[in-house]
Each structure stands twice: as structure tokens, then as C-alpha cells.
Amino acid sequence: MDKIELKALGKINLGLDVLGKRPNGYHDVRMVMQTIYLYDQIIMEKKKEPGIEISTNLFYLPVNENNLAYRAARLLMDEFDIQTGVKISLTKHIPVAAGMAGGSSNAAAVLYGMNRMYGLGLSMEELMERGVTLGADVPYCIMRGTVLAEGIGEILTPLPAMPKCQIVVAKPPVSVSTKMVYEKLDSHQIEEHPDIDGIIGGLESEDLKKVADCMGNVLEKVTVEAYPVIEKIKQCMKEGGALNAMMSGSGPTVFGIFEDRKQAKKAAARIKEAGLAKQVYVTNVHNARRK
């Protein structure tokens, strides 16, 4: 196989709790992750000349070893002594630095693509073991679907699939540093922990309303303090009929859960019209796991 086209899907967090901090600075988390059908298009192609060549539609993204897609390709090329080169084209749609694991999902797709294209014979578990060296969310992005992520995010337990629903994603025009959010969290006392077990219970009983009611993100307060627009978008989604709305990851992206597609589209249009966000999408959850 000389060429492979892949979709690198983004994620939202239905729940995000922080349990503590390790001496090395990493945080112990308990998160319910959900893949959504908002994706970056990735085309990988072998080339005769050695080296990794990255191209992307976003001028501000690095195309060297600072790009996670580059690092993913490098990792397997070094381990398997691959002498030919690879061209990787990234067409980005997942908002960048937004709490949707865009970089991690690109890395996951490239690991998957290298394994297929070069016939390396690695199992999904073996790809995940390599992925975690690139980032805590990479193993999840390899697995996909509805998953409980613990440890630093790498200990994964598959959960029952999220019931069918519409997801509105809105990224306000501010950039959030994940590092900054966690540092601020450390200086706060966590007053309220989200009901992660409630979310899991809702998934087990296929009860979308219960999942939505139990949603919570311990990082939200910290990011909202810096960017009140996040709260405004949440309100707009709820007024527009969302069962609930919340910030994903360390933000600033907000997502809303809707039962009805028409309502979801209307809410998305209202957020744009109000000038709260330009990057607004209506999409679905994606429950299939990668095999």
C-alpha cells in the first residue's frame, strides 16, 4: 500500500474530573471521553526520498518535529528502520488548542496509517502503548468511542455507547493554554466534583437526559473566569433547547447536546449571529471503535 486516506476524529469530554497531582506535574484524571464526527482529513503517501514532509491548510501550525503527526511518523520509522520517506497532508477542521484533542487525534491517525501502509503488524494495544509516549490522549484517540479515561488519561475502559443525539460545537476566538488552566486549578480548592459515575449510569441505562444532567467539567470555572464568552455560549445553547452544554477539556470549545437536529442548527446559527463564535459545527457522536 503506497497511499492511505484517514479521518482523524475529534473528541469532547462528557465529564472531566481531576483527582490529584503527581510529583512530576501530571494530573490524575477521571474523564468520560466521546468521539464526535468532526474530523481532520489526513492523506499519507510513501515517497522515495527519505524524510517526513508535512503540509497543512493552517499556516500557523508547525510542519517540523513540533507537529504531533510528524512525531508519530518518526516514532515508527525509527523503531522499524523505515528508509523510504512519507508525505503527510493535514486538512484541519478540528479547532486548534481548543480542548478537542486535535493534535492527539492526528498523531493517532498517523500511527494507525503507518502501521497499515508499511504492514508493521502492530495490534491496537501495541499502537496505544507507543501513542502514550506522544501524549496522554493519544491512546484514546486510537481507540475511539465512549470511554472512561483514568490515570493521566491513558488507562481506558470502554463504556456503553452514547445514545444518538446532535452535538453543536462552538469555538470562541480565544486560545487557551492547557498548562495555564491546570496551573490555575492547582491554586484553587476544587469545591465540586462532577458526577462521573452518574454519567456512566446514564450510559448504562441508555438515558440521554441523565447523561446530560450529570455532565460536568472541573476545569470549566478556571477557564470561564478568564473567558466569560464561554458562559455566554453555554447559555445560548441552553436557551436554544440543548439538554445541557459544557466546555470540553481545558476549553475554550463549548458543546451542546440536542435531541433535535433542527433545533441544533438554529442554536448554531444564533451563536454565529451573536458573534460569540465563528467556528460553529453541528455534528453527531461517533461510537465505532477502531479495529
Binding site for ATP, residues?
Answer: 95-105
Catalytic residue among 40, 137, 210, 234: 137
Of 166, 223, 250, 283, the one binding ligand ATP by CB under 6 A: 250
99 lies in the site for ligand ATP, by CB under 6 A: yes
CA of 74: how far to CAs of 63, 110, 183, 199, 212, in Å? 13, 10, 31, 38, 40
Instruction: Kindly state the cell numbers that stand for 68.
Output: 504531533
Pair 163, 206: CB distance under 8 Å: yes
Beta strands in 175-278 (DSSP E): 216-217, 244-247, 254-258
- The footprint of ligand ATP on this chain (CB under 6 A) covers a number of residues equal to 21
Active site residue 11: yes
Pairing type for strands 216-217 and 3-21 reads parallel
CB atoms within 10 A of CB 188: 11
Residues of this chain, 257-286, that bind ligand ATP according to CB under 6 A: none
CB of 266 to ligand ATP, least distance (A): 27
CB of 111 to ligand ATP, least distance (A): 13
d(CA 241, CA 71): 42
Active site residue 137: yes
**Summary count for the chain: helices (H), strands (E):** 10, 11
35 lies in the site for ligand ATP, by CB under 6 A: no
d(CA 232, CA 252): 12
Return the amino acid letter for 77: M
Taking CB under 6 A as the rule, which mask of x and - marks residues 79-98 in contact with ligand ATP?
A: -----------x-----xxx
Residue nearest to ligand ATP (CB): 103
Taking CB under 6 A as the rule, which mask of x and - marks residues 182-211 in contact with ligand ATP?
A: ------------------------------
Nearer to ligand ATP, 181 or 243 (CB): 181
State the residues that interact with ligand ATP by CB under 6 A. Answer: 61-62, 66-69, 90, 96-104, 106, 137, 178, 249-250
Q: Which residues are the active-site residues? A: 11, 137
